[in-house]
Amino acid sequence: MKSLKDIGARLIGWFSGIPKAIAYRYRLEFRRLIYFLRTSDASYFLIFSVIVGLGGGFGAVIFRWMIAQFSHLFFTTGGNALNFLGKYSVVLFPAAGGLIVGPLIYYFARETKGHGVPEVMRAVLVEGGKIRPRVAAVKAFASSICIGSGGSAGREGPIIQIGSALGSALGQVFKLTEEKTKTLVGCGAAAGIAATFNAPLGGIFFALEVILREYGLRNFSSVVLSSVTATVISRSFLGNYPAFRTPPFQLYQVSDFLYYLVLGLFAAAMAWIFIKLLYKSEDIFDGLKMPEYFKPVLGGLGVGIVGIYFPQIFGVGYETIQSSINGQPILWITAALVLLKIVATSLTLGSGGSGGVFAPSLFIGAMLGEAFGIVAHRIIPSTIIPPGAFALVGMASVFAGVSQAPISAILLLFEMTGNYQILPPLMITCIISALAIRRISRYSIYTLKLVRKGVDIEKFKYGDLMESTPVSEAMITNIISVLQTYSVTRVGLMIKNTNHRGFPVTDEEGSLVGIITRQDINHALEKGNGVSEISSIMTRDLLVCYPDESLRSALHKMASRNVGRLPVVERKNVTHMVGILTRKSLITAYSKALDMRKTFQEMKSDA
């Protein structure tokens, strides 16, 4: 911050030409302002929240413009250039987008891969709200190219990650506390949702329900300011219009609620299928023996093939959703689009593309609701609820099941349609969908990704921390290893200079073959074996642990042999070392998790 103060003071002096004494006075005032911004809760809630809202609002506007430009580039300019291929030219567009997106993510910011929200949740939960500033730029380009080229993904995940990265960067620049930085991350998420969907209430509750996961007053105030500010910016550029135009909607009779109850159950089933196929696709692509940055090309080809016959699956698909709401039903097309959108989104995101899951969830829900309405009319001709009404409600209910955030789903759909009459059926279907999914799995599409990476939010908040914290959170990845051909004297000097208690031992190919300790070296030196290779005295019967193993299990292993360090290896290849777990690193990770749980409890008590 010192350089920022000096730059500010110099600029004042250079451009105003005032005497040094007055310049010095301004310098003092500038320093006081910086200190005030860094320490005052009042200024934090007001000034920083508004700044994040401005950044999120402008970011959403620019991001939507980027998607439109890339879509024109691929489908109009590219379509004209490949006109000789006819309708088959669309196969190449998502693949071409993947060819750009893959290296962009791989080399610049790998956390921008996929739908983005779990990475923001992880930053809040584990990283103290810290997100690399470059994430905003990389996510904006990667996602706009992916969606613009026809990738089946939504724009809300990228907007959330972009806005959250801006909030985190602001917190880091001004060296705010972890709690304030986390709140700014939530402000960025709220701003992004509010701006892209013209839904300030939806943005507020999505940030509180999904990102911050609590409703404390200190968070609520700042999130509201950011969301409202972003909405003002969005409406200034994009207009004050609901995302979807809805026909007149009303409840005709009490029995209508039975239809919506059944639709909520169908929505839960479809949400569960969506979650399962998405992560199954990710596992399949992860298992392919090919460079990671080329995998989005393969996924893009799959999406392009589907798009030859069903171009509705390209991009966010809001035009198709609007058609279903307006009531243009063809049953077999609608039913096919439910499954094909799930497949297309799974191919796009599972292969390593970049985009959100909110818009695909709306698309799947709209097609499901419309198909449900058509079938209901054919089975029970006396049904008077139009299929478009089922499409509207289905949109929210599938997202509620996918995200397990029913409050956010209800408010977002209400604001996106501007229709008060839709609230009662929305509440029924969303709650039913969320509860039904909860009976099947306690993880949402967001938290499941965290669990797959070893971060279980539910266990983290309420369970045994030693059991729920994985070794990957505690291990040291900056590994110092020694070759088995090193002499005892050489390794002894390394131990003395680094003050380490031992080193893992590898062969010439880098494979783990043993471990050497200070005690082993001292015994060998006492016997006069200083010139011997350490392979003759190292421990070959290794005790190892794995990145996804719990700290409690690793601690039991340490105690079983009274050792202070364990090599961390891959389960599929126990000679490939990925880290070292020491007593000190284990205690540090446990202490950090304990502090975070304490913070959660304090935040909950403030709510």
What does the DSSP assignment read for 271-285?
Answer: HHHHHHHHHHHHHHH
Is residue 603 a part of any domain in this protein? Answer: no
Which tokens is 235 given? 């409406």
Placement of tokens 């109850």 in the chain: 261
Which two three-digit tokens encode residue 225? Answer: 């300011």
Lowest mean pLDDT among 21-30, 185-194, 368-377: 21-30
Do 274 and 407 reside in the same domain of the chain?
A: yes
| Mean pLDDT on 71-82 | 89
Which range is least confidently modeled, 57-66, 71-80, 258-267, 592-601? 592-601
Token pair belonging to 263: 């639709």
527 and 407 part of one domain: no
**Other CB atoms within 10 Å distance of the CB of residue 49:** 27
pLDDT band at residue 297 using 50, 70 and 90 as cut-offs:
very high
Indicate the range of 72-76, 161-165, 424-428, 469-473 predicted with least confidence.
Answer: 469-473
Rg (CA), the chain: 28
**Residue ranges making up the domain that contains 530:** 471-591
Structure tokens at 44: 């934090």
pLDDT tens-digit map of 264-284: 999 999 999 999 999 999 999
CA distances from 157 to 131, 177, 211, 350 (A): 15, 26, 12, 15
Mean pLDDT (whole number) for 512-521: 88
The CATH number that applies at residue 548 is 3.10.580.10
Collapse the DSSP code of 172 into the 3-class scheme (helix H, G, I; strand E, B; otherwise coil) and give the result: helix
Secondary structure element (H or E) that encloses residue 479, with its range: none
| Domain presence at residue 459 | no
Contact in structure between 501 and 518 (CB atoms under 8 Å) = yes
Residue 365 belongs to a domain: yes
Q: What's the CATH number where 350 sits? A: 1.10.3080.10
Instruction: Average the pLDDT over 516-521 and give the result.
Output: 86
246 located within any domain: no
* 466 part of a folded domain: no
pLDDT confidence bin for 43, thresholds 50/70/90: low
What pLDDT digit, counting tens, does each position of 91-149 carry? 999 999 999 999 999 898 888 888 788 888 888 877 778 888 888 889 889 999 999 99
> Which residue is listed with tokens 């969005």?
234
Q: Are 330 and 224 found together in one domain?
A: no
pLDDT given at position 14: 47
553-587 confidence digits (pLDDT tens): 888 888 888 888 889 998 878 888 888 888 888 88
Percent residues over pLDDT 70 in the chain: 86
Among 284-288, 344-348, 471-475, 598-602, the range scoring the smallest mean pLDDT is 598-602
Residues 190 and 187: their CA atoms lie apart, in Å, by: 5
Is residue 602 one of the residues assigned to a domain?
Answer: no
pLDDT in tens, 200-232: 888 888 888 888 877 666 678 888 889 999 999
Token pair 């040291």 in the structure block, residue: 476
**The two structure tokens encoding residue 43:** 């200024």
The total of structural domains in the chain comes to 4
Both 329 and 439 in one domain: the answer is yes
Indicate whether 373 and 485 sit together in one domain: no
Q: Is residue 140 part of a domain?
A: yes
| 367 and 431 part of one domain | yes
The closest of 88, 95, 80, 79 to 149, measured between CA atoms, is: 95
Please check whether residue 541 is in contact with residue 520, taking contact to mean a CB–CB distance below 8 angstroms: no
Which one-letter amino acid corresponds to residue 273? I
Q: pTM surpassing 0.75?
A: no
What pLDDT score does 432 carry?
A: 92
3-state helix, strand, coil in the chain (%, to 5): 70, 5, 25
Joined together, the tokens standing for residue 418 give 């501007």
The whole-number pLDDT of residue 606 equals: 47
Q: Are 272 and 310 within one domain?
A: yes
Q: How far does the chain reach from its first CA to its final CA, in angstroms?
A: 33
pLDDT tens per residue, range 144-163:
999 999 999 988 888 888 88
**418 and 492 together in one domain:** no
HSE, side-chain direction, 13 A CA sphere, residue 536: 11
User: Rounded distance, CA 591 to CA 260, Å?
Assistant: 48
Indicate whether 68 and 82 sit together in one domain: yes
